[in-house]
Structures are given as C-alpha cells and as structure tokens.
Amino acid sequence: MELLKELGRRIQKARKEKGLTQQELADQSHFSLKHVQSCERGVKNPSFEVLRAFCKVLNLSLDSLMNLDLPEDEQAANDMRQLYLSCPPAARKVLLNSTRALADELKEMVKTAGVDPDEHLEDK
C-alpha cells in the first residue's frame, strides 16, 4: 500500500509542476476526476493505460514514474530526456546544442573554481 501512496505522490507532484488541476489532468487523460483523485491518494492501483495517459499528459516516462527506487542522477537523466522529447522535433536540435554548450560552460566553471567535479553545486 505504501508503494501506491508513493506513486500517487509522484503523480500529484508532476501534475502540480505542470500547473494542472486534478480536473485538467482528468480531462486531458480522458479519465474521471474521481479516478485521478483516487490514484493520487494511493487508494487506487492505476492500470497501465491510466499510467500511460498520465505520463503523456505530464511529459513523464513510465520508468521515471514507476521506478520508485531510481537513483537521483538517473531520475534527472530521465527528466532531461522527457524535456527533449516534449519539444517539437524542429526545436530538438537547438535544445541539444544549447544543452551541450551549457554543459561545457558548467564544466569549465567547476574546473576554474577548483570545485570537486563530483560535488553537487546546489549544496553550496
């Protein structure tokens, strides 16, 4: 039961990050408001079809939603992948090139600052 509650929390968090209400998620995923609410509370075990619809609306991968013990770095990599896939195909090359340039700049910044490359900058 605890796993269903965690799944529900993840769905709710993703919905809120996307700026959607429960009703909007219900409408866009073609499931009832009551069904969305039950899934988010962890009292309903969502089917594959429901999870797939939620993931499509929320721009999530099933893996990132379902793999509850996914390491933080892998979760972040999945998030990056979903950001890429959520862009129109014509914009993906620009996003990829911009991300590469930003990564190179961040690596150089860490190098010149004398920070351990394995240290998390957000901890500073």
Q: Which amino acid is at 70?
A: L
- Residue 60 CB-density burial (10 A; 0-12 exposed, 13-18 middle, 19+ buried): buried
> What local confidence, expressed as pLDDT, does residue 124 receive?
47
pTM of the model: 0.63
Q: What pLDDT, in 10s, does the model give residues 27-54? A: 999 999 999 999 999 999 999 999 999 9
d(C-alpha 25, C-alpha 70), whole Å: 25
Domain residue extents for the chain: 2-66, 72-116
Could you tell me which CATH number the domain at 2-66 has?
1.10.260.40
Q: Is residue 24 over pLDDT 50?
A: yes
Q: Is residue 112 over pLDDT 90?
A: no
Q: Is residue 123 over pLDDT 60?
A: no
